Amino acid sequence: MQAAIHINQLGYRPQDRKRFYVSGCGGSFAVFRADGSEVFAGELQAVGDDKATGMQVYIGDISDVIEVGTYQLTVPGIGQSVSLAIHPDVYANLHKGLQKFFYFQRCGVELSAEHAGEFSHAACHVEKAHVYAEPSRRIDCHGGWHDAGDYGKYVVPAAKAVADLLLAYEFYPKAFMSPVGIPESGAGLPDVLSEVRFELEWMLRMQDEQTGGVYHKVTTYRFPPLSTMPEDDRGELVLSPISYAATATFAAALAHAARIYRAFDADFATRCLNAAARAYEWCTSHDAEPFHNPDGVATGEYGDKKLSDEHYWAAASLLQATGEDRYHQACLQAFATGGFSLTELGWADVGGYGTIAYLRADRAVTQAQVWEHLRKAWLTEADRLVSLGACTAFGIPLAEHDYIWGSNMVLLNRGMHLLIAYALEPSDLYVDGALQTIHYMLGENALQQCYVSGYGRKPLLHPHHRPSVADAVEAPVPGMLAGGPNRNLQDTVARERLQNQPAARCFLDHEESYSTNEVAVYWNSPAVFVVSHFVGV
């Protein structure tokens, strides 16, 4: 691979630690002003060979360059220069773009030119869906967000996305003061809460009125062709059966929402809490059976064999919302039973969300010994992530085996973990580690790829995202985070073109490489959280 400069393509804030990387060659570097005068010079330091990247990497530190401006960074040994920006608001537009992606994913409503610009389109999927195996029973479940590059809507990953955005607002409310350009909600909500409410209203429609259980997903029977606009996807909509995973994560997310919306709309908050309590009661009277696609349904399964962490999250979230002892006892039972991670923030492994809820609940309704155990578990994992980052070529907490489908979600989840650790026990190491996940996302990676559409010198251009493929606009919808490198090569294009590539380089900006460059709401959501820290503090 040719020697190159790997740098955050948007830039850096003046006060942050600022590093860049060079592959294939060491030596000196220098930073110059626009008038050609030198600002800073230094020597690259070897990081070493990295198995995940297959590269010899060197690091340069330009933290002493703090004056706002645009500079040229030059590395004579490879004969290259790149532009370098330093500005306190360098991530402000990115933060808005990552948020607005959720608006572009709206289902069941027209995206008007006023708000969507050239990405506007007609309303889609407005007809009622029939309940699987009950063709005569039809339910209105319009609204919500298309999950990813397809047009399905799935409760389990939706709950993660909702939780990430609500946590981002709780931790960094000042980051959400500026509008992002979505329709007025009429409720005086910040845009992020208005957008989340759009998803929550859909989730409420997914709850069975009779039992309180929650349908797993609403999709067509099969994905439409990649070049299909949302309003042209006219396959029959079907509600897959109620599942334990959907019902438990629904309970957790709706209880979380009840706390946040109470200050804005007490009636809506009450709806959310009552729905969460009903869903939780359904879980207590049903076995934790994994979900499998029913016969004939070939859309995303979001199956999960281990469901004790979902129950833990639901109980902890309801404990935080209500303070009721029955939910605390359920948390204690979950700890005693074990068998799941207390710190993961994925869509399948959700124990970390339960831990966050328990740690942020009223201390009067928690148990001190359990609280301290959870705090230590969170910080121990944060320290592990810091140590892991120190051992990788680009300073990120991803080991070679972590480059899986959605590796960028894994990375941003870990950035989120580090920032929550910082709230528990302030440490510059945690903040630096989280910031490095942003640098990686924006170009400090093995491929010099900005993994966000519409940003950077080498942005994501050909995502696996049906509206971006099908519309008449040359550029893709902006603000979308790609899944990222995936060493498992789980699509035909990746298998054909990426054989024997190191894990961190197993990525293709190709519309058919769904296992590396599809987008998803629950990949954007941890990115919103992490970037919020560097916008709202």
What is the set of active-site residues? 464, 509, 518
What one-letter code names the amino acid at 288?
A
The end-to-end CA distance of the chain, in Å, is 39
Rg of the Cα trace of the chain?
Answer: 23
Alpha carbon distance 506, 489 (integer Å): 7
Alpha carbon distance 345, 478 (integer Å): 25
Alpha carbon distance 41, 9 (integer Å): 20
Helix or strand holding residue 431 (H, E) = helix 428-441
Phi-psi region of 299 (alpha: psi -120 to 50; beta: other; left: phi over 0): beta
Alpha carbon distance 395, 45 (integer Å): 13
Helix or strand holding residue 28 (H, E) = strand 28-32
Q: DSSP string covering 350-369, please?
A: -HHHHHHHHHHS-GGGS-HH
Alpha carbon distance 411, 533 (integer Å): 16
Report the sign of the C-alpha dihedral through residues 449, 452, 457, 462, in that order.
positive
Helix or strand holding residue 407 (H, E) = helix 407-424
Q: Are strands 129-131 and 55-61 parallel, antiparallel or unpaired?
A: unpaired
Quote the DSSP letter at residue 401.
Answer: G
What one-letter code names the amino acid at 518?
E
